């Protein structure tokens, strides 16, 4: 394990503390921020928000993009666009960051948990199909959970650490069962499955620009869709559902104050310009890690799955068992190299422990053995 610490220190060219993931502001960030402040348009209206939305949509190949205050808000609105209601159920993976389940819960809907594939760490189409075949039937064109009698309205797969899951296979299954596909692409900006950008397979997709993501606006998110009506509704819902009017306040439903401020968008426009460079840099780092761990007994580096191109946002390794994982976490963190275990399974948290799930063998393996290692863009 000492060799791992030495290798990471050499790779990042420092003996000081090495964090898991640091943002890099090496482009036009300060220029655009100054310009934004000088314009006085620092809040929810301004040219940078519009510019970002246009450039982002082009980048991922979707028709529309709607910027939000954070990724959780983007997911929340995405689920509303999918028409998820209070009494509905939403299928997702047990192995994900809490935000996926929080967004489902904000509506009052309930998450149901299926397993992940070991190679992608993302929702497994096989497990999804098994869950549906065992537990569900189609009634009046709706997918009904035979146990709870509730409607399964949507499915939210997540592209873990920027490795894309088998999203087109998942889409086919959702189409067969009349389930709306909503992608949690918070971690996968710059990642492609079969040459198509993640987040654009579903009816709606959500991204995050939190401080730890591949590019950041401090806090921020975005919703993407090809559906003009949904795009308009997303803008409406995120801007307090106010009817456009030169001076009057008229709101036609309960809306949200979820619009990304122009100040954050200014930072983000500069970050987006550097995305390709960041992805290349991270791929180089991944190759170095891969080479190093190839000859290392007991630790395997997690490579991008087949049919995909990863952004390698967070680099990850898998250890032999929970005991060696714990030793690895202890040793690296004590020696100034930050590492972190993957998330606890959602169905083990107090809030979701009563939610229905299917056999979660692979999720458990990941939960016990996967660790993230330093992943920042190297200057």
Ligand X SMILES: *Cc1c(COP(=O)(O)O)cnc(C)c1O
Angle of the 125-135 helix axis to the 167-176 helix axis, nearest 10: 20
Dist. CA 81–CA 348, nearest whole Å: 28
Q: Which residues contact 249 (CB under 8 A, 6 or more apart)?
A: 242
Q: How far is the CB of 372 from ligand X (least distance, A)?
A: 12
Q: For residue 71, state whether it binds ligand X (rule: CB under 6 A).
A: yes
Task: Pick one of 173, 187, 198, 371: the residue that binds ligand X (CB under 6 A).
Answer: 187
Q: How far is the CB of 20 from ligand X (least distance, A)?
A: 13
The interface with ligand X within residues 158-177 (CB under 6 A) comprises: 158
CB 207 within 8 A of CB 186: yes
CB atoms within 10 A of CB 171: 19
Task: Pick one of 60, 99, 272, 285: the residue that binds ligand X (CB under 6 A).
Answer: 99
Q: For residue 217, state whether it binds ligand X (rule: CB under 6 A).
A: no
Dist. CA 142–CA 150, nearest whole Å: 10
Which CB sits closer to ligand X, 221 or 299?
221
Q: How far is the CB of 274 from ligand X (least distance, A)?
A: 19
Residue whose Cβ sits closest to ligand X: 71
Please identify, among the stretches 18-26, 43-51, 183-191, 348-356, the one whose residues bind ligand X according to the rule CB under 6 A: 183-191
Q: How far is the CB of 362 from ligand X (least distance, A)?
A: 17
Dist. CA 151–CA 143, nearest whole Å: 6
Dist. CA 78–CA 72, nearest whole Å: 10
What sign does the CA torsion over 136, 137, 138, 144 have? negative
Q: Which residues contact 272 (CB under 8 A, 6 or more apart)?
A: 52, 55, 56, 59, 215
Which CB sits closer to ligand X, 124 or 208?
208
CB 5 within 8 A of CB 335: yes
Q: For residue 96, state whether it binds ligand X (rule: CB under 6 A).
A: yes
372's enclosing H/E stretch is strand 370-373
Q: How far is the CB of 284 from ligand X (least distance, A)?
A: 23
360 token code pair: 């979660």
Q: For residue 221, state whether it binds ligand X (rule: CB under 6 A).
A: yes
Q: For residue 100, state whether it binds ligand X (rule: CB under 6 A).
A: yes
Which CB sits closer to ligand X, 205 or 221?
221
Dist. CA 139–CA 182, nearest whole Å: 22
Which CB sits closer to ligand X, 74 or 337?
74
Please identify, among the stretches 9-17, 79-87, 115-123, 180-188, the one whose residues bind ligand X according to the rule CB under 6 A: 180-188
250's enclosing H/E stretch is none
Q: For residue 202, state whether it binds ligand X (rule: CB under 6 A).
A: no
Binding interface with ligand X (CB under 6 A): 70-72, 75, 96-97, 99-100, 158, 184, 186-187, 208, 210, 221
């Amino acid at each position: 394990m000492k060799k791992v610490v030495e290798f990471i220190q050499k790779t990042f060219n420092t003996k000081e503390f090495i964090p898991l993931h640091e943002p890099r502001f090496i482009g036009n960030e300060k220029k655009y921020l100054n310009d934004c402040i000088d314009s006085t348009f620092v809040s929810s209206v301004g040219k940078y928000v519009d510019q970002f939305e246009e450039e982002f949509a082009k980048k991922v190949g979707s028709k529309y993009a709607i910027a939000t205050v954070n990724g959780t808000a983007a997911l929340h609105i995405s689920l509303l666009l999918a028409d998820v209601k209070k009494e509905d159920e939403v299928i997702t993976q047990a192995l994900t960051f809490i935000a996926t389940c929080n967004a489902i819960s904000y509506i009052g809907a309930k998450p149901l948990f299926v397993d992940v594939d070991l190679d992608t760490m993302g929702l497994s189409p096989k497990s999804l199909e098994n869950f549906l075949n065992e537990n569900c039937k189609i009634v009046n064109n709706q997918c009904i959970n035979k146990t709870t009698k509730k409607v399964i309205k949507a499915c939210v797969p997540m592209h873990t650490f920027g490795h894309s899951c088998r999203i087109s296979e998942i889409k086919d299954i959702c189409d067969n069962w009349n389930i709306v596909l909503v992608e949690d692409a918070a971690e996968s900006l710059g990642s492609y499955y079969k040459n198509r950008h993640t987040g654009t397979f579903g009816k709606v997709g959500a991204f995050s620009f939190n401080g730890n993501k591949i590019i950041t606006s401090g806090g921020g998110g975005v919703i993407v869709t090809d559906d003009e009506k949904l795009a308009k509704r997303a803008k409406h819902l995120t801007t307090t559902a106010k009817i456009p009017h030169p001076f009057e306040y008229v709101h036609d439903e309960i809306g949200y104050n979820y619009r990304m401020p122009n100040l954050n968008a200014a930072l983000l426009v500069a970050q987006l310009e550097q995305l390709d460079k960041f992805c290349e840099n991270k791929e180089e780092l991944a190759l170095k890690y891969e080479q190093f761990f190839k000859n290392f007994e007991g630790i395997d580096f997690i490579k991008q799955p087949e049919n995909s191109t990863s952004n390698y946002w967070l680099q990850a390794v898998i250890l032999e068992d929970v005991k060696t994982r714990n030793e690895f976490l202890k040793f690296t963190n004590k020696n100034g190299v930050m590492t972190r275990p993957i998330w606890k399974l959602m169905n083990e948290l107090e809030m979701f422990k009563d939610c229905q799930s299917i056999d979660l063998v692979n999720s458990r393996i990941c939960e016990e053995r996967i660790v993230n290692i330093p992943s920042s863009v190297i200057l």
